[in-house]
Amino acid sequence: MGRQTVRKVTDEGVLGPGDLLQLKARGITEAQVRDQLRLFRQGSNWLTLDRPCVIKDGVEKISAKGADVLIDLQREAAREGRFTKFVPASGVGSRMFSFVFEYVSGAALGRRKEIKRDAERGHKGAQQFLTFIDAISQFAFFDDLKGVMSENSLELEQMLKAKEYGDIARFLLSEAGLDYQNIPKALVKFHRYREAGRTAFEEHLVEAVQYVQDRHSRARLHFTILPEQAGQFSRLVGQVRPILEERHGSCFTIEFSYQLPSSDTVAVDLNNQPFREKEGRLLFRPGGHGALLRNLNSLGADLVYIKNIDNVVPEHLMGATTLWKRILGGYLVKQASQINAYLEGLDDAPLDRRLVRESAAFCRERLGMIFPQGFGRWPMLKQKSVLQRGLDRPLRVCGVVRNEGEPGGGPFWVRWKDGSCSRQIVESSQVNLDLSDQRKIWESAPFFNPVDLVCSLRDRKGKKFNLDRYSDKKSYLITRKSHEGRDLKALEWPGLWNGGMARWLTFFVEVPIETFNPVKTVLDLLRPEHQPG
């Protein structure tokens, strides 16, 4: 398709007939694009950090004695089949192997001499590549790579000895081999076992058995994927489900939903005009994990664990994860039970003044709510109404770990325009770090968000909350990116655990760092926590 003639439809941008066909194919309306262009012009809406969450001020530290009670609560809820595990799994594995791709397509063409020269000059990608290739036999996908190369009359060990790595990288990344540049990260072999390697997807199934399985040995999991990935996931489920079910005496209920193209957002240039590719087509980008709020909203589940696809360990190291998943789940059950008891009491007639005072104290002391001046002197019915609105919401408990310099968000008290404060998970892109006071608060945060959540999605009567009502639509993110060497701006919807859950009731609980083992690059798989026991 050549460059098209465009017409100005509003002062918010220019769209042509070809653009409208492109929008229709994606399930996006012209009005939605206009709204997105308006957000680009407005710019980001910064949050105002009040202070970081710390122990005894936003973050709770669970004692050994308290943990026992919470574990029992979680076990009973799990036996009743109340828990589901929700895993965003649509991301592709290309970022894991970016430095490998560089030395397939670059001038070095996989020759050790040239790569070593770049490494000695301080090139990080070259240094990473040498680490990767020298340890390649330690990766769980080594045997698969060796096999697919052998099928094509190529011997992996001989190429390693010859120090010629181009074909090795090609068969690792491209469709000719394992296609790790394009397949979902969930389907990359993460861990080596005596019998076979396991993908991240398989490890999530095994992990779910430990804390989601009910009294009938059923473990429920839900993965969000892209429509074009459905066949790949279906094939893997068919291969591994019988093996894992027999091994663990379990029965898996595995559901998938799609992150649809209609949740993508249009990109713009630095002048906030629609960004066009070389052939003149609009460029759309994924709307971020906040687009998954609709998937979570459609789940119909009661209590839900949320965890990233790449944060898994081999089976022999799952003990700490299992323990703290049970503790967090029990904490959620305990808080939800207390909140529901207050709500039910507030429904009673005549209204119990003592219960109103107790509910208000819980809101202030446990949830950090700030009431208007003179609230305690208001008529009881008016106080009741405020308390009911404040308490009748979805609930989440978020595990947080000590900040060891990982990039990402953390737990903060955020101050809203009405003067109230609430606990939020905040990303750096949501904060104006050019303001010295905001940067100081940000840099002083002792905790990090590892995406370790458990959520209650139903009210006290068992009815599903409409989660969209409790998101902060103004917490969208605008970021700088590039495409084919050209700068652009991208729009992401309020993050699933950021703005998407901004108006939820939130508790933060410290969890140990050993429960956080993400795999962002393939080299992370060389860490001891990802190697065989």
For 60-115, the pLDDT digits (tens) are 999 998 999 999 999 999 999 999 999 999 988 888 998 888 776 655 567 888 88
Residues 368, 345: contact at Cβ < 8 Å? no
Give residue 97's pLDDT: 93
Q: What is the Cα Rg of the chain in Å?
A: 25
Nearest to 140 by CA among 200, 95, 93, 90: 200
Q: Is the pLDDT of residue 2 over 60?
A: no
**Dihedral (CA of 178, 183, 189, 195) sign:** negative
Give residue 147's pLDDT: 96
Pairing of strands 395-402, 505-510: parallel
Distance CA 289, CA 268 (A): 20
Give residue 350's pLDDT: 87
pLDDT digits (tens, 9 = 90+) for 111-158: 888 889 989 999 998 999 999 999 999 999 999 999 999 999 999 999
Higher per-residue confidence, 406 vs 334: 334
- Give residue 53's pLDDT band: very low, low, confident or very high (50, 70, 90): very high
**Dihedral (CA of 46, 50, 51, 57) sign:** negative
| Cα angle, residue 91 at apex, residues 139 and 533 outer, rounded to 5° | 30
Give residue 15's pLDDT: 82
Task: Give me the DSSP letters along 248-288.
Answer: HT-EEEEEEEE--GGG-EE-B-TTSSBPB-TTSPBPEE---
Give residue 104's pLDDT: 67
Give residue 105's pLDDT: 62
Give residue 108's pLDDT: 53
Nearest to 171 by CA among 83, 241, 110: 110
- Give residue 9's pLDDT band: very low, low, confident or very high (50, 70, 90): very low
Nearest to 342 by CA among 368, 328, 372, 363: 363
Q: Which residues contact 209 (CB under 8 A, 6 or more apart)?
A: 219, 248, 250
Mean pLDDT of the chain: 92
What global pTM score does this model have? 0.91
DSSP 8-state symbol, 484: T
Give residue 480's pLDDT: 87
Nearest to 184 by CA among 127, 134, 258: 258
Highest mean pLDDT among 107-116, 287-296, 417-426, 506-515: 506-515
Residues 200, 188: contact at Cβ < 8 Å? yes
- Average pLDDT of the residues in 501-522: 96
Q: Is the pLDDT of residue 8 over 50?
A: no
